[in-house]
């Protein structure tokens, strides 16, 4: 069974303080000052099973840690996240945390938070800002690594194949860190193997509906599809519907490699419909609350905290299904 390691791997000179702070659970976050720690969190949306698990993890962790959480759902719109951050600044929250829906366009509002002396923590997705003073820490996965793992599996899976292997790619939200990085990591992993041809690549915006719609278009426009690489399970699950409605067998006629590792994808794997899944861990809540407490207390925290994740074959997913939390 693939080892699912959600340990914290700390980069940079700082010593990891997260492990020392235990589960972050229990007790109030006010350290006897009487003031409850207030965190403003701007969430991308509710576009996928991964996202709802991430939201649940953050909300439950806040409750457990005695943190007052002001939570806003941006419905995948950057302007809504910017509005939410401005509102948190007006409310003078202690810490702002968010998962940026796209990488660019954050400097202005993050500068406003900095001028208001409110520290910002990035979770899940990164920003491409050059000014590192605009946030204190980034907690989340390495998406390039995830794309690489998907590509490496494909290279192994088709090691004996001689002819062209036609790949279609369902990309995540345009401009988002996971879409950019999972695409580049995958491309790097297969670039030495000319047999792999990415014959079509388009965004499915991380949703089932769009994933299905784009896969329907691929099936119409592409004479030969051997593999689907989906940047998340929800798009893969939508694509499975399209493949089956076209009278083809997902996992057999068209092999599928995906990312996230949500329960519904594990069920599809147990049915032979998805061939490999690269895990992306959404359970960041406890680590985020521990970070927020330390940041508020003025303690040193790591600039980059990377969650370690596993990969799953159908056998491993089937075995993991009964205990899968999300
Ligand atoms: C990855 C996260 C992505 C997931 C998708 O950390 O940002 O967004 O892979 C989700 O399921 O929509």
Question: Which CATH number goes with the domain that contains 112?
Answer: 3.40.50.2300
Does residue 270 sit in the same domain as residue 169?
Answer: yes
Looking at the structure, tell me whether residues 151 and 273 fall in a common domain. yes
The pTM for the full model equals: 0.90
Looking at the fold, whether 222 and 297 belong to one and the same domain comes out as no
What total number of domains does the chain contain?
Answer: 2
Find out whether the beta carbon of 171 lies less than 6 Å from any atom of ligand 1. no
Residues 261 and 159 in one domain: yes
Dist. CA 59 → ligand 1 center (Å): 17
Range of the domain at 232: 143-280
Q: Angle CA(15)–CA(17)–CA(20) in degrees, nearest 5?
A: 125
- Where would I find the H helices in 191-280? 208-221, 233-245, 263-270
**159 Cα distance to chain centroid:** 29
Same-domain check for residues 62 and 123: yes
Place of tokens 């990415």: 198
C-beta of 178 in contact with ligand 1 (< 6 A): yes
Residue 155 shares a structural domain with residue 253 = yes
For residues 154 and 119, membership in a common domain is answered with no
Q: What is the pLDDT of residues 163-210, one digit of tens each?
A: 999 999 999 999 999 999 999 999 999 999 999 999 999 999 999 999
Same domain for 298 and 247, yes or no, is: no
Mean pLDDT of the chain: 92
Tens digits of residue pLDDT in 66-107? 999 999 999 999 999 999 999 999 999 999 999 999 999 999
Q: Give distance in angstroms: CA of 188 to centre of ligand 1.
A: 21
Nearest CA owner, ligand 1 atom 9: 232
Q: What is the pLDDT of residue 22?
A: 36
Indicate whether residue 48 lines ligand 1 (CB < 6 A): yes
């Amino acid at each position: 069974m693939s080892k699912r390691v959600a340990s914290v791997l700390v980069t940079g000179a700082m010593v990891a303080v997260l492990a020392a702070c235990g589960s972050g659970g229990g007790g109030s976050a006010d350290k006897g000052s009487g003031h409850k720690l207030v965190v403003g969190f701007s969430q991308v949306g509710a576009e996928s099973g991964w996202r709802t698990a991430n939201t649940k993890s953050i909300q439950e962790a806040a409750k457990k840690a005695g943190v007052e959480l002001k939570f806003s759902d941006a419905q995948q719109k950057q302007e809504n996240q910017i509005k939410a951050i401005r509102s948190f600044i007006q409310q003078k929250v202690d810490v702002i945390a968010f998962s940026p829906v796209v990488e660019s366009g954050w400097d202005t509002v993050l500068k406003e938070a900095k001028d208001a002396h409110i520290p910002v923590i990035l979770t899940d997705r990164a920003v491409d800002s050059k000014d590192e003073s605009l946030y204190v820490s980034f907690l989340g996965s390495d998406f390039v690594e995830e794309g690489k793992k998907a590509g490496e599996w494909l290279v192994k899976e088709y090691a004996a194949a001689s002819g062209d292997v036609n790949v279609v790619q369902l990309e995540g939200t345009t401009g988002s860190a996971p879409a950019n990085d999972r695409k580049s990591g995958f491309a790097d992993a297969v670039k030495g193997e000319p047999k792999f041809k990415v014959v079509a690549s388009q965004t499915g915006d991380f949703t089932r509906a769009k994933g299905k719609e784009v896969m329907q278009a691929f099936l119409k426009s592409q004479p030969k599809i051997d593999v689907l690489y989906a940047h998340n399970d929800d798009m893969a699950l939508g694509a499975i519907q399209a493949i089956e409605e076209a009278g083809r067998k997902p996992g057999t006629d068209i092999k599928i490699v995906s990312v996230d590792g949500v329960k519904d994808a594990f069920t599809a794997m147990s049915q032979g419909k998805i061939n490999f899944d690269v895990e992306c861990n959404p359970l960041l809540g406890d680590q985020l609350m521990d970070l927020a407490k330390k940041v508020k207390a003025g303690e040193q925290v790591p600039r980059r905290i990377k969650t370690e994740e596993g990969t799953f074959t159908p056998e491993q997913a089937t075995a993991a299904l009964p205990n899968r939390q999300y």
